[in-house]
């Protein structure tokens, strides 16, 4: 059955494309909607802007968490489980869509949705948004316009029924989650489940980085959070060393050392990564910095330098043999 009617909201029309089942779900602060959506322009071609099915994952939003596109919470609240509905929304409701879409696209691409945002006042952030990085979204941002949303609601969960995603947590919840994630990571390391441990450390770092984005760099609040980030990054790098992801270690330790150039443990892990990818000079320089910064690590450095020397000598012998073989075969 197809039914067209106005929601009790100015500038919104709803058309039910497929009826749902049961009563309207009971919603509480923190309830989670899971749904697929399509976003279309209100033009002759009904141009598709976004399609969550093509992105490969359904969308989730939390009731009462100030989702940037507030109208979506209103639309979903009017739907039953299993319902498919089309909503026409006037431009008064769609002005933030470009920013919401940018975040969703970055998540689908495996990137940080907050990437590139600077810590500024609200007015300052407006100027950071002059380009979203996507041409079609830049056009929407320049000329706000009515949009059509086609939504299919799969489920509505009470706050107690699901694990809270990091982005949905309050500041207090994020701070409380960090030591738990840190402890879980340590437990997984003891079981030599390094990939799973790295994921726990990474999730804890994301919690803290999200909180840091709301602080002014190098002021007390930011520094306190940074002191929690550093050991987690080092643990993450140790897992990556164990997994053979040496360039990942080089990237994260170098970034850490740009802020904290006296961290002996970061130099030590970077040195081991350099040694693993045959960057002998860089490895020796980093190991020497470790011994200078932390004399208690001198014995470990000496052992690593000895191993590095043996590996490099063995490599030189093998390289010589390989070149001689090539030379002889070319002479033959």
Rounded distance, CA 163 to CA 294, Å?
Answer: 41
- The pLDDT of residue 47 is above 80: yes
Do the domain assignments include residue 21? Answer: yes
The token pair at 214 is 């709301």
69 and 29 assigned to the same domain? yes
Instruction: Provide the pLDDT for residue 119.
Output: 40
What's 28's domain CATH number? 3.10.50.40
Domain residue limits at 64: 4-157
148 and 205 assigned to the same domain? no
Instruction: Provide the pLDDT for residue 246.
Output: 93
Q: In total, how many domains does the chain have?
A: 2
Whether residue 260 contacts residue 270, with contact meaning beta carbons closer than 8 Å, is answered with: no
3-state secondary structure of 93: helix
230 and 208 assigned to the same domain? yes
Do the domain assignments include residue 184? Answer: yes
Rounded distance, CA 197 to CA 215, Å?
Answer: 28
Token match 């949905």: residue?
168
245 and 117 assigned to the same domain? no
Whether residue 155 contacts residue 81, with contact meaning beta carbons closer than 8 Å, is answered with: yes
Whether residue 65 contacts residue 168, with contact meaning beta carbons closer than 8 Å, is answered with: yes
Q: How many angstroms separate the Cα of 14 from the Cα of each of 33, 56, 77, 101, 231?
A: 18, 26, 12, 21, 51
92 and 189 assigned to the same domain? no
Structure confidence by residue, pLDDT tens digits, 86-135: 999 999 999 889 888 888 787 766 655 555 544 434 333 433 446 778 88
What's 220's domain CATH number? 1.25.40.10
75 and 149 assigned to the same domain? yes
Do the domain assignments include residue 323? Answer: no
Structure confidence by residue, pLDDT tens digits, 155-167: 998 876 656 666 6
119 and 204 assigned to the same domain? no
Model pTM?
Answer: 0.52
125 and 69 assigned to the same domain? yes
């Amino acid at each position: 059955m197809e039914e067209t009617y106005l929601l009790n909201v100015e500038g919104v029309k709803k058309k039910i494309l497929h009826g749902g089942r049961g009563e309207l779900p009971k919603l509480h602060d923190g309830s989670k909607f899971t749904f697929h959506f399509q976003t279309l322009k209100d033009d002759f071609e009904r141009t598709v802007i976004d399609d969550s099915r093509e992105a490969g994952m359904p969308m989730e939003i939390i009731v009462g968490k100030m989702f940037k596109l507030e109208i979506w919470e209103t639309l979903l609240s009017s739907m039953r489980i299993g319902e498919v509905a089309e909503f026409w929304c006037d431009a008064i409701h769609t002005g933030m869509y470009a920013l919401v879409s940018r975040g969703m696209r970055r998540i689908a691409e495996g990137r940080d949705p907050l990437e590139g945002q600077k810590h500024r006042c609200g007015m300052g952030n407006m100027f950071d948004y002059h380009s979203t990085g996507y041409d079609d979204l830049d056009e929407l941002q320049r000329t706000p316009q009515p949009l059509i949303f086609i939504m299919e609601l799969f489920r509505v969960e009470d706050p107690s029924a699901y694990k809270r995603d990091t982005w949905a947590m309050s500041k207090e919840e994020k701070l409380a989650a960090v030591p738990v994630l840190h402890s879980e990571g340590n437990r997984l390391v003891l079981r030599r489940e390094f990939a799973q441990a790295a994921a726990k450390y990474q999730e804890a770092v994301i919690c803290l980085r999200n909180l840091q984005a709301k602080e002014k760099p190098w002021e007390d609040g930011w520094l306190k959070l940074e002191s929690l980030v550093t050991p987690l990054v080092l643990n993450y790098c140790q897992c990556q060393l164990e997994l053979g992801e040496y360039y990942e270690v080089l990237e994260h330790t170098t970034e850490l050392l740009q802020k904290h150039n006296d961290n002996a443990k970061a130099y030590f892990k970077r040195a081991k990564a350099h040694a693993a990818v045959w960057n002998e000079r860089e490895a020796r320089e980093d190991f020497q910095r470790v011994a200078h910064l932390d004399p208690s690590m001198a014995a470990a450095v000496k052992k690593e330098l000895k191993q590095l020397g043996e590996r490099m000598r063995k490599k030189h012998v093998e390289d010589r043999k390989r070149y001689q073989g090539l030379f002889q075969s070319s002479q033959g």
